[in-house]
């Protein structure tokens, strides 16, 4: 209730619920860099002043000193008011990981800060940044409290964040990244204040309207983004407002069908052509496991960008408004197009990710993919907007079963027939509603060649209430048919309403490929493509394969078990009538993991399977899919995936630390192959005569989890680090077993000594002490416990050269107040006189003061 009260009080403190932002903060790193830069541009344009940014380029290592740290984020977020902040990075419910992948900012630090966050707006692409935990469900001394939603609510700020994993793409602004970028644009839309609730709804509606095909990652990105605050809080951007625009429909008129059933059912159509504007883009990629090896991947972009889906080739996008007032687009029929085939292309595939930049997997397809490169989008129409047609004017086909390269079919133009209907009348005779009829079923397809002329015969059936309006095929081939799809309309037989026929003169072509489509009386369209392989006709007729022979396949000495995340080698032999079959593709599978291998001259195929399924009992399978000459065959063998072992090590095993300072202890978690684990929770339990302390810490990219400062009095303590096991905390048993990995633990000791005093000193001369050279513009510290000296403030790093600091004070927020013996000029401040006091807010101190 206190959080709710804080939100209500903050809203009531505004003028009519309006906030006019004057400042902004944007953070990001790794794959989130592109989204962070794009959002920063939007906020800069809308506010009229540059956003403050902490953005590390994606190609900068976390260990690089330019990767920003949690201290740098603290210096900005906890010492300054930013009316709008976009925090892109890796989050947990109560902490945020900095770009160095080692240091973290806790949500509790937000609450403890003195900065006024009343009516600030924060939105975040971080995973679980909106995971709002129930306090009573937390584990004492383990669950971080408060979470981000609670922390910002207590400060009177509004948070928009994801309740679970949020996603991005390695190379493109996609999924959660795209949603939050659109949200930042919506804050600039139109004139006057924009409520954050309306802005988020509009961003989600745009996301739906601009996504050609909604996949699971799209759905999750939309569903988990949540407002923690009052949706009627309004943002009034003072500058750079965007005037909303609408594209006009490419359908200027429709034509009514004169023949039935369409004439009776009010069916209309429009023939449209779309010219594609394609740009070829090349991306260099490193080959995993091969040092200094790169390849060049290619993708095409269209006038409306690129379609990105995980592990699939990037496709160009041409999106067109096809809205017709008072009508509903019921079906889309492909009528032809012009294309060029480009060979030896390595397609760039989508690399969706949540943690770090992803890997681009190879894509293999023995048919042109996608089979039907278009999709109608109705999401905007559902809220009173327009219907759109999304066209992907490119298809990809692999060179072979194991080839990473293939042919990219690039369309310069595509033609469609769009079917419109608003017929919803119930039949007075049957009581059925024709509008609810299913699309036609294409039952049989045949073709016969006679003297260079092909006769096509197609049988189509459907709901009698709507009948069949038209049937046609589109064809391509060699000779005069090359490089284009053309339409051939079929005629309905006068005696058999299910039979549709037509003829085509080959004109010297030796091969043609075709697919069949059919539309019913309310405009629903079906297509038969022979599973993407298309139907084939040659000048000699339809190829008739011989009667296929039986085959046998068996696993050779199959392994029976293996540990999770390891690799197992499997072999199988393929024969027919006892003779080995060479050069045949064989598919091995274990759960969702599959690999294809080719048989050698002995009929033996061998592959390596990564054991990535959940530990437990499974079936190792091998199959041959068959061909025109051989029947399929399969075999299986029981297999058990076991949990993989882990190793946990404490460094140092015996540590000494001063009370109130960092313990210096960290645990390193690796698997049995000594590979480090990141984003795993390690439980530290510190016990001794003067008390106990428990901490749950998350491993970084090196597999290290840091214990940090132990808030216990001086004394001797044991330290136990545990991963993936049942632990007892405050008498409560907590099951933290991992479904994939075995538990591990490590023990050590910690001696906490009395803290010494830290003395701050500045002198009026240049000298050295304790091996430290200093000048009069520096501030030093002396630790009475260790007897060590350190330069805490290096004045020369910030433009002070022999400018004597004659007095200074360190404030509780980490900033410094100082005055100078002589008047001087500072580029960031201007003229500074002897009676002035300057406040220095550091982003870093010591030898790299900034």
SS3 of 789-833: EEEEECHHHHCCCCCCEEEEEECCCCCEEEEECCCEEECCCEEEC
**pLDDT for the residue 540:** 85
Mean pLDDT of 222-249: 96
Which residue carries 């993708």 as its tokens?
A: 299
- 84, containing H or E segment: strand 84-87
Q: Is the dihedral of CA 526, 528, 534, 535 positive or negative?
A: negative
| Token duo for residue 318 | 């041409």
CA distance 102 to 90: 11
The closest of 372, 278, 376 to 322, measured between CA atoms, is: 376
Kindly give, in sequence order, each residue whose CB lies less than 8 Å from that of residue 836, ignoring residues fewer than 6 positions away.
819
**Distance (Å, rounded) from C-alpha 98 to C-alpha 89?**
7
Nearest in space to 130 (alpha carbons), one of 179, 99, 163, 176: 163
Residue 529: what pLDDT? 98
DSSP sequence for 416-454: EEEEEE---PPPTTT---GGGPPPPEEEEEEEEEETTEE
pLDDT band at residue 208 under the 50/70/90 scheme? very high
Q: Distance between CA atoms of 446 and 436, rounded to whole angstroms?
A: 30
Cα–Cα distance for residue pair 799/669, rounded to 1 Å = 43
Q: Tokens representing 494?
A: 């006068």
Q: How far apart are CA 602 and CA 402, in angstroms?
A: 19
Cis bond leading into 370, ω under 30°? yes
Kindly provide the b/e burial profile for residues 130-145, where b requires at least 16 CB atoms within 10 angstroms of the residue's own CB: bbbbeeeeeeeebebb
Predicted confidence at residue 288, as pLDDT, reads 77
Of 520, 499, 510, nearest in space to 456 by CA: 499
- Secondary structure of residue 519 in the 3-state scheme: strand
Distance CA 151, CA 136 (A): 17
CB atoms within 10 A of CB 285: 17
CB-CB contact of 6 with 155 (8 Å): yes
Task: Give the pLDDT score at 758.
Answer: 84
CA–CA separation, 40 and 55 (whole Å): 10
pLDDT digits (tens, 9 = 90+) for 342-384: 999 999 999 999 878 888 999 999 999 999 999 999 999 999 9
Q: Is a pLDDT exceeding 90 seen at residue 3?
A: no
744 membership: H or E segment, kind and range: strand 744-753
Q: Record the tokens describing residue 140, joined without a space.
A: 């004492």
The pLDDT-based confidence of 141 (bands split at 50, 70, 90) is low
Per DSSP, 653 falls in state S
Q: What number of residues does the chain have? A: 850
DSSP string spanning 136-190? GGSPTTTS-SS-HHHHHHHTT-EEEEESS---EESSS--THHHHHHHHHHHTTBS
- Average per-residue pLDDT for the chain: 94
User: Average of pLDDT values for 832-838?
Assistant: 92
Question: Which is more confidently placed, 692 or 758?
Answer: 692
pLDDT at 483 over 80: yes
The pLDDT assigned to 700 comes to: 86
Residue 12: how many other CB atoms lie within 10 Å:
8
- Counting residues of the chain whose pLDDT is more than 90, the rounded percentage is 81
Residues 327-354: what's their mean pLDDT? Answer: 97
- Tens digits of residue pLDDT in 759-783: 999 998 889 998 889 998 999 999 8
- So what's the pLDDT on residue 47? 98
d(CA 374, CA 273): 13
Cα(376)–Cα(349) distance, integer angstroms: 23
CB atoms inside a 10 Å sphere around CB 502: 16
Mean local confidence (pLDDT), 259-267:
96
Residue 292 in this model has a pLDDT that exceeds 70: no
Asked if pLDDT for residue 812 goes beyond 90, the answer is no
In this predicted structure, what is the pLDDT of residue 378? 97
pLDDT of residue 359: 86
Cα gap 524→518, rounded to integer Å: 8
Q: What is the pLDDT of residues 588-599, one digit of tens each?
A: 999 888 888 999
Residues whose CB is less than 8 angstroms from the CB of residue 246 and which lie 6 or more positions away in sequence, other chains included: 386
How far apart are the C-alpha atoms of 634 and 750, rounded to whole Å? 60
Q: Which two tokens stand for residue 157?
A: 């700020």
User: What is the reported pTM?
Assistant: 0.84
What is the set of domains in the chain, with CATH numbers?
A: 2-235 (3.40.50.1460), 255-423 (2.60.40.3800), 424-539 (2.60.40.10), 552-642 (2.60.40.10), 646-753 (2.60.40.10), 758-840 (no CATH)
Closest CA to 82 of 112, 40, 143, 38: 40
Q: Given the DSSP bridges, would you call strands 779-783 and 789-793 parallel, antiparallel or unpaired?
A: antiparallel
Distance CA 492, CA 588 (A): 47
Q: Which long-range contacts (CB under 8 A, 24 or more apart) does 292-299 make?
A: 295/346, 295/404, 296/346, 297/346, 297/347, 297/348, 297/349, 297/360, 298/345, 298/346, 298/347, 298/348, 298/408, 299/347, 299/348
Q: What is the pLDDT at residue 49?
A: 97
């Amino acid at each position: 209730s206190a959080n709710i009260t804080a939100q209500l009080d903050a809203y009531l403190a505004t003028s009519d619920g309006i906030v006019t932002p004057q400042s902004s903060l944007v953070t990001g790193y790794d794959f989130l860099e592109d989204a962070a830069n794009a959002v920063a541009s939007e906020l800069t344009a809308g506010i009229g002043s540059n956003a403050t940014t902490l953005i590390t380029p994606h190609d900068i290592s976390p260990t690089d000193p330019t990767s920003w740290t949690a201290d740098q984020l603290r210096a900005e977020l906890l010492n300054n008011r930013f009316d709008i902040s976009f925090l892109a990075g890796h989050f947990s419910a109560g902490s945020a990981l900095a770009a160095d992948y080692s240091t973290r900012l806790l949500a509790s630090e937000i609450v403890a800060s003195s900065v006024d966050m009343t009516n600030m707006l924060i939105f975040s692409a971080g995973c679980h940044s909106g995971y709002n935990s129930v306090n009573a469900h937390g584990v004492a001394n383990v669950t971080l409290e408060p979470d981000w939603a609670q922390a910002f609510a207590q400060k009177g700020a509004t948070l928009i964040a994801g309740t679970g994993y949020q996603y991005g793409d390695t190379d493109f602004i996609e999924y959660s990244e795209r949603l939050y970028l659109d949200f930042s644009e919506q804050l600039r839309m139109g004139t006057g204040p924009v409520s954050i609730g309306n802005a988020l709804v509009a961003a989600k509606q745009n996301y739906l309207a601009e996504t050609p095909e909604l996949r699971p990652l799209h759905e999750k990105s939309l569903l988990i983004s949540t407002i923690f605050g009052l949706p009627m809080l309004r943002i009034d951007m003072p500058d750079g407002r965007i005037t909303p625009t609408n594209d006009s429909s490419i359908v200027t008129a429709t034509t009514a069908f004169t023949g039935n059933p369409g004439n009776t059912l009010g069916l209309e159509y429009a023939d449209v052509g779309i010219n594609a504007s394609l740009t070829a883009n090349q991306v260099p990629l490193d080959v995993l496991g091969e040092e200094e090896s790169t390849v060049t991947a290619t993708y095409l972009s269209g006038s409306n960008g690129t379609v990105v889906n995980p592990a699939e080739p990037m496709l160009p996008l041409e999106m067109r408004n096809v809205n017709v007032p008072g009508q509903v687009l019921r079906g889309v029929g492909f009528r032809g197009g012009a294309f060029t085939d480009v060979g030896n292309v390595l397609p760039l595939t989508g690399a969706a990710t949540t943690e770090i930049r992803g890997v681009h997997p190879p894509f293999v397809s023995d048919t042109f993919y996608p089979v039907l490169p278009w999709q109608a989008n109705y999401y905007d129409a559902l809220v009173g907007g327009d219907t759109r047609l999304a066209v992907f004017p490119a298809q990809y086909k692999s060179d072979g079963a194991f080839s990473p390269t293939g042919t990219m079919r690039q369309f310069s133009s595509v033609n469609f027939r769009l079917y419109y209907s608003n017929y919803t009348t119930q039949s007075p005779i049957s009581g059925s509603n024709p509008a609810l009829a299913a699309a036609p079923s294409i039952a049989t397809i045949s073709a016969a060649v006679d003297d260079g002329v092909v006769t096509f015969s197609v049988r189509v059936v459907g709901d009698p209430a709507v009948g069949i309006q038209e049937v046609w095929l589109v064809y391509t081939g060699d000779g005069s048919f090359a490089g284009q799809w053309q339409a051939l309309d079929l005629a309905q037989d006068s005696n058999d309403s299910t039979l549709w026929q037509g003829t085509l003169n080959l004109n010297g072509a030796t091969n043609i490929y075709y697919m069949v489509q059919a539309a019913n009386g309310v405009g629903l369209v079906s297509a038969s493509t022979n599973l993407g392989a298309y139907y084939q006709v040659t000048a000699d007729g339809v190829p008739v394969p011989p009667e296929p022979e039986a085959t046998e396949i068996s696993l050779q000495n199959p392994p029976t078990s293996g540990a999770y995340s390891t690799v197992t080698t499997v072999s199988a032999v393929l024969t027919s009538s006892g003779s080995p079959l060479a050069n045949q593709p064989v598919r091995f599978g274990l759960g969702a993991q599959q690999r294809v291998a080719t048989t050698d001259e002995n009929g033996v195929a061998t592959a390596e399977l990564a054991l990535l399924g959940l530990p437990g009992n499974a079936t190792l399978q091998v199959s041959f899919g068959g061909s025109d000459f051989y029947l399929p065959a399969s075999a299986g063998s029981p297999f058990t995936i076991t949990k993989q072992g882990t190793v946990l090590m404490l460094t140092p095993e015996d540590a000494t630390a001063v009370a109130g300072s960092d313990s210096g202890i960290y645990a390193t978690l690796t698997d049995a192959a000594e590979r480090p684990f990141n984003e795993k929770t390690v439980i530290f339990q510190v016990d001794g005569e003067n008390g106990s302390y428990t901490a749950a810490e998350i491993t970084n990219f090196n597999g290290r989890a840091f214990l940090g400062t132990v808030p216990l009095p001086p004394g001797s303590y044991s330290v136990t680090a545990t991963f993936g096991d049942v632990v007892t905390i405050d008498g409560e048993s907590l099951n933290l077993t991992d479904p994939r990995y075995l538990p591990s633990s490590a023990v050590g000791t910690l001696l906490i000594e009395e803290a010494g005093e830290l003395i701050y000193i500045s002198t009026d001369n240049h000298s050295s002490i304790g091996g430290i050279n200093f000048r009069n513009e520096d501030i030093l510290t002396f630790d009475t416990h260790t007897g060590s000296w350190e330069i805490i403030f290096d004045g020369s790093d910030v433009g002070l050269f022999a400018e004597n600091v004659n007095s200074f004070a360190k404030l509780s927020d980490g900033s410094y107040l100082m005055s100078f013996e002589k008047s001087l000029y500072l580029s960031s401040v201007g003229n500074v006189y002897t009676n002035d006091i300057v406040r220095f807010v550091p982003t870093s101190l010591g030898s790299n003061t900034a």
